[in-house]
Structure 1
Amino acid sequence: MEKRVAIIGAGTSGLLACKYTLEKGFNPIVFEAEEGVGGLWRHTIEFTKLQTTISTYQFSDFSWHSFAKEESPNSQQMLHYLNSYAQHFSLFPYIKFNSKVMEVEYVGESSEEMEIWELWGGNGRPFFSKGTWHIAVQDTKNFSRESLIKLVQQQTWRPNLNRRMMALRCKSTRRHLETGVHQREVYEAEFVILCIGKYSGVPNIPLFPPGQGPEVFKGKVLHSMNYSALDNKIAAELIKDKRVTVIGSQKSAIDIATECAHANGVKYPCTMIQRSAHWFFPELNILGIDIEYFYANRFAELLVHKPGESFLLSLVATLLSPLRWGLAKVAESYLRWRLPMKKYGLVPSYSILQGISSCRIGVLAENFYDKLKEGSILIKKSQSFGFCKEGLLINGEAKPLETDIVILATGYKGDEKLQSIFKSHVFQKYIIGSKSSSVPLYRQIIHPRIPQLAIIGYAESLSNLYSSEMRCQWLAHFLDGNIELPTITEMEKDVKVWDDNMKLHAGEYYWKSCIANCGIWYNDQLCKDIGCNHRRKKGLFAELFEPYGPKDYVGLSHKR
């Protein structure tokens, strides 16, 4: 039986999936909608920098040292790093650029047959099932600009520069489908790896009262996704000498507001409209101590209740909970002392522990509070707003806020994006699960009821590149036959245990898959599955107190 592997997306997760499947002897094909690698890093504004230290956000076997000296590289440095990684490991011949996957369909086994399976895929193995995946791919190279604006929310695509995919490595079966606009090709593969990310593609647009939507506004309205996709020069021309209002309070809103303030100063201040404040660090340390020593070592995880932990570990976490609370208060007090958060109404209503547990913490854009102080950034709090001809109607204010441009930094619908790629309504239902839970993935990789498919990069951590590499190593061993999956029922029980743990720590702020609290514990499970030693440090002290990072997991190998 053929073992064709298709990877959708050539961001960080897609590159890792390609590299590790190649190491196991597979010949994957990677479908990438754009002309180059990088994923989200191809569409970040000029002020965006890395949110973690380079020691944690790097490939385990490809160092940052020759690419950036500072701890927080910018987006262009990040793209250079990713391109160099792909070049170093000869990944480019396996990537088919300008190839947007429109949908995937599992063909060969009915939903009724799959419903009675006890083992994943019917046999618990990645291959040897009767079904195959059909992958409908749209060539974006020949799209007109008008068609692209309509189909992908105004993102800009440029001609393909890489012509090396004439002979496809996976020798996929292809057939042609005619769409209403352009031609599609359909490829076949026995296994699909989705690396499509969750912060792109489907913007989250707020609902507005009747008659108060963007259509009544005489100025321009765009989502942060569209703004970030603009060339830096075009973006600068768009906001220059304009009154810009940014809706949102997360990292993208902070970066865009800072960029606007830098461009226009106090003459045309940028207004931020926020519903709530979030925890942001000025740099990645607390009182001069690297933040990793607080949250990325085994001792830190001893203070936390972990999914599937033993009675002894549960007891230890309970007894040490006052210490965990105390360390969190130290961090909160440090930030309140270091930053004038109270003065500007930017003290979050939730604890920093909940922020970490829900992956809501971030790093401030440079000089953000300086911009607040000089008046080039203004903050307004409002739970709702609407549009009028002159600008925005803000809840509680008598006069409208006059503005020229409104940028909606209101996030993305990652679940909807993931759901929409499946043609099967049954699989769409499986992906969403329940409204009160995240996408149900075993080991944050495998859906128990969707065969021959893996999802990489959905669950988050303090360093997503690092966690994606761990998952890709696990997946490569699974594809190579070195890992046995439990039954579907057992996998679903394990998924619920992890989901319940996330809810326990994040509380009312639970809204997505985030394993920041217990990333080392999670990696331990992957190492045990692979059959390698999960204790990666030398000596007890180092094992307890030294931060864990990508370099600790270089080349995990099966040793049973």
Structure 2
Amino acid sequence: MEEKKMMKRVAIVGAGASGLAACKHLLERGFRPVVFEAGDAVGGVWARGAIASTRLQTPRPYFEFSDHPWPPAMAAAELYPDHGQVTAYLRSYADRFGVLECVRFGCRVAGMEFAGAGEVEVMRWEEWAGNGEAFGTGRGEWRLTVHHGDNVETHVTDFVVLCIGRFSGAPNMPRFAPNKGPESFAGTAIHSMDYANMGAAKAAQLIKGKLVTVVGYQKSAVDIAAECANANGASHPCTIVLRTKRWIIPDLYAWGFPIPVFYITRFSQLLLHKPGDGLILGLLATLLSPLRWLFCKFVESYYKWALPMEKHDMVPDEDFLEAMCSCSVMKLPDKFYDKVEEGSIVLKKAKKFSFCKEGLIVEGHSSSETIKSDVVIFATGFNSDQKIREMFKSPLFRDIVAGSPSSIVPHFRQCIHPRIPQLAIIGYAESWSNLCVSELLSKWLAHFLHGSFRLPSIREMVEDIGEWDKYMKRYAPGRFRRSCIGPVNVLCSDRLCQDMGVKQRRKKWLLADWLVPYGPADYADINLNN
């Protein structure tokens, strides 16, 4: 068995947090994976592409590998470490568990092609990969086109783990009418990815003494605006142009109570109509809906009191539950609203905007105005679907891997496409603790490749994905494509544990199991001995 595993070839694309976890757990199972990393360091978006001031979105104890604690000095000093500290932590993990020896730096996978079975045959299969097992019937293999400098090679492997993430690589840029885009602007217009890739020194030089306008209102937008405000003050205010107001909050406490207790515990899941619920659980969720509403209003009331959101007309249209279900709750930079009050950050709501020579023409509900700008930075996110589609040479796989715009991303257990054999995708699903999810998925994948279980039939996987589609459209109708498992994180973990044949209820005491959020430490004992 061990010799057979050593003979099976596994390739991992990406050496971010998910790629490192996948490699580590496959090493423990006797595999010798090859990790292709386009950059020159491990850490993914944390090593490159993170804005200098960016910090963790979740508290440090929930961004931690189950078997690799943060250094004691760091644990005592920082609840939300910065990107440099996170990068160092990820590097220490890779170094400790021998992952670095598997990484080929400077190697970009430009495309992948499945060989051994034609597309028509693949689409006829009733079992994933032909028999429901990780390596299929033994006929199929992946051929990766790998660029290393000026050299191009074909790497052949039996299984591929895609760990390319959602927040890098393919910028999401607004479209403009002719002569209404950046080409009409006399200043500099870039995406937040380009801003982050400059490095701290060049980025500071770009914004110093400039009128900067940031388009968007997600995490990168408020981080960049805070950097501009710190650099320039009210003499050169930074303007944020936004269309959608979001729940961007300073911490995870409401009236002294930790928010995770209301949204990511085993008990809180009872308040939701979850995938796979039967009649009794569905009825219970309906009966408990007033409590769900009460939790939501309780949290919202605190932030409306603690932050001048109403004063600046920044209360989101969506309720807090929907924001949690779409993983769109974000952490506010320190003293953000203080900067708004002093005038170093200006919040400008707009239905649409266009460029002119002097800056941006912003159209509101009843009027328009010109915002003079020297620099415009698009903090408009990334096209993660495009990024993952472009990995495949097959038009069929390109078309189906991320699903259609009218449905959720169709990944069984958040990592397996029912129709794409011998491939897993880790790091695409979102949660309030992405690292914990990626590590547990990596453990699940290691069990699967080891032969500990088989996948259900393709029909059963498709039906399961359909249940998740109904759940996401019910609780996050505006952003169901985000693959967010936040409030049902315990349910997802339970199903992974069930597949692996390990216990699902992992806390010592019954009350804690129902009322205390699950974290990395709860899954620490799932290892090669299970």
TM-score of the pair, normalised by structure 1: 0.91
Q: Secondary structure of 2:282's partner?
A: helix
State the partner residue of 2:54: 48
State the partner residue of 2:313: 345
2:385 to 410, 415, 421: 415
Q: CA deviation at 1:498?
A: 1.2
Q: CA deviation at 1:65?
A: 4.1
State the partner residue of 1:451: 421
Q: State the one-letter code of the partner of 2:188.
A: K
Q: State the one-letter code of the partner of 2:323.
A: G
Q: Are residue 282 (structure 1) and residue 250 (structure 2) matched?
A: yes
State the partner residue of 1:134: 143
State the partner residue of 2:446: 476
1:154-173 map, 5 Å? none
Q: CA deviation at 1:196?
A: 0.2
Q: State the one-letter code of the partner of 2:142.
A: W
Instruction: Provide Cα deviations, 1:204-251, integer angstroms capped at 9, x if missing partner.
Output: 110112211111111000000110111101110110000000000111
Instruction: Provide Cα deviations, 1:148-195, integer angstroms capped at 9, x if missing partner.
Output: xxxxxxxxxxxxxxxxxxxxxxxxxxxxxxxxxx33111010000000
Q: CA deviation at 1:25?
A: 0.3
Q: CA deviation at 1:290?
A: 2.2
Q: Secondary structure of 2:84's partner?
A: helix
Q: Please tell me the root mean square deviation across aligned C-alpha atoms, in Å.
A: 1.4
Aligned residues of 2:189 and 2:378 also touching (Cα < 8 A): yes
Q: Are residue 300 (structure 1) and residue 268 (structure 2) matched?
A: yes
Aligned residues of 1:204 and 1:411 also touching (Cα < 8 A): yes
Structure 2: segments with no counterpart, 5+ residues? none
State the partner residue of 1:114: 122
Q: Secondary structure of 2:240's partner?
A: strand
State the partner residue of 1:328: 296
The worse-fitting range, judged by mean Cα deviation, of 77-86 and 106-115 is: 106-115
Q: State the one-letter code of the partner of 1:196.
A: I
State the partner residue of 1:425: 395
The worse-fitting range, judged by mean Cα deviation, of 298-307 and 238-247 is: 298-307
State the partner residue of 1:178: none
State the partner residue of 2:95: 87
How far apart in 2 are the matches of 1:137 and 1:555?
Answer: 36
Instruction: Provide Cα deviations, 1:66-121, integer angstroms capped at 9, x if missing partner.
Output: 33422111111101110111111111000001111101111121111112111111
1:60 to 44, 47, 66: 66
The worse-fitting range, judged by mean Cα deviation, of 86-95 and 388-397 is: 388-397
State the partner residue of 2:281: 313
Q: State the one-letter code of the partner of 2:43.
A: G
Aligned residues of 1:31 and 1:96 also touching (Cα < 8 A): yes
How far apart in 2 are the matches of 1:109 and 1:472?
Answer: 27
State the partner residue of 2:216: 248
Q: CA deviation at 1:367?
A: 1.1
Q: Are residue 24 (structure 1) and residue 29 (structure 2) matched?
A: yes
The worse-fitting range, judged by mean Cα deviation, of 304-313 and 518-527 is: 304-313
Q: State the one-letter code of the partner of 1:246.
A: V
Distance 1:93 1:559, change over 3 A: closer
State the partner residue of 2:506: 536
How far apart in 2 are the matches of 1:78 and 1:41?
Answer: 7
Distance 1:399 1:354, change over 3 A: closer
State the partner residue of 1:237: 205
How far apart in 2 are the matches of 1:236 and 1:41?
Answer: 19
Structure 1: segments with no counterpart, 5+ residues? 143-181
Give the ranges of 4+ consecutive aligned residues of structure 1 lying more than 4 Å apart after TM superposition: 396-399, 557-560
Q: Identity of counterpart residues, as a percentage?
A: 48
The worse-fitting range, judged by mean Cα deviation, of 498-507 and 89-98 is: 498-507
Q: Secondary structure of 2:442's partner?
A: helix
Aligned residues of 2:408 and 2:480 also touching (Cα < 8 A): no
Aligned residues of 1:50 and 1:74 also touching (Cα < 8 A): yes
State the partner residue of 1:401: 371
Q: CA deviation at 1:33?
A: 0.5
Q: State the one-letter code of the partner of 1:70.
A: E
The worse-fitting range, judged by mean Cα deviation, of 387-396 and 527-536 is: 387-396
How far apart in 1 are the matches of 2:155 and 2:529?
Answer: 36
State the partner residue of 1:159: none
1:6 to 11, 18, 29: 11
1:75 to 71, 83, 91: 83
Instruction: Provide Cα deviations, 1:495-551, integer angstroms capped at 9, x if missing partner.
Output: 111121111111234231111121001100000110011000112111111221110
State the partner residue of 2:431: 461
Q: Are residue 495 (structure 1) and residue 465 (structure 2) matched?
A: yes
Distance 1:65 1:290, change over 3 A: farther
How far apart in 2 are the matches of 1:10 and 1:517?
Answer: 28
Q: Secondary structure of 1:266's partner?
A: helix
Q: State the one-letter code of the partner of 1:138.
A: H
Distance 1:51 1:399, change over 3 A: closer
Q: State the one-letter code of the partner of 1:336.
A: K
How far apart in 2 are the matches of 1:129 and 1:438?
Answer: 31
Q: Secondary structure of 2:300's partner?
A: helix
Q: CA deviation at 1:129?
A: 2.8
Q: CA deviation at 1:399?
A: 4.4
State the partner residue of 1:358: 326
How far apart in 1 are the matches of 2:486 and 2:17?
Answer: 19
Q: State the one-letter code of the partner of 1:503.
A: K
How far apart in 1 are the matches of 2:515 and 2:110?
Answer: 46
Q: CA deviation at 1:302?
A: 1.5
State the partner residue of 1:190: 158
Distance 1:285 1:350, change over 3 A: same
Q: CA deviation at 1:296?
A: 2.2
Q: CA deviation at 1:557?
A: 5.2
How far apart in 2 are the matches of 1:321 and 1:120?
Answer: 38
State the partner residue of 1:167: none
Aligned residues of 2:363 and 2:369 also touching (Cα < 8 A): no
How far apart in 2 are the matches of 1:392 and 1:217?
Answer: 8
Q: State the one-letter code of the partner of 2:139.
A: K
How far apart in 2 are the matches of 1:258 and 1:416?
Answer: 30
Q: State the one-letter code of the partner of 1:92.
A: L
Q: Secondary structure of 2:234's partner?
A: coil
State the partner residue of 2:490: 520
State the partner residue of 1:227: 195
Aligned residues of 1:431 and 1:440 also touching (Cα < 8 A): yes
State the partner residue of 2:521: 551
Instruction: Provide Cα deviations, 1:339-379, integer angstroms capped at 9, x if missing partner.
Output: 00011121101100100011110110111101001000001
Aligned residues of 1:279 and 1:362 also touching (Cα < 8 A): yes
Pairs aligned (count): 519
Aligned residues of 2:259 and 2:299 also touching (Cα < 8 A): no
Q: State the one-letter code of the partner of 1:332.
A: E
Aligned residues of 1:286 and 1:334 also touching (Cα < 8 A): yes
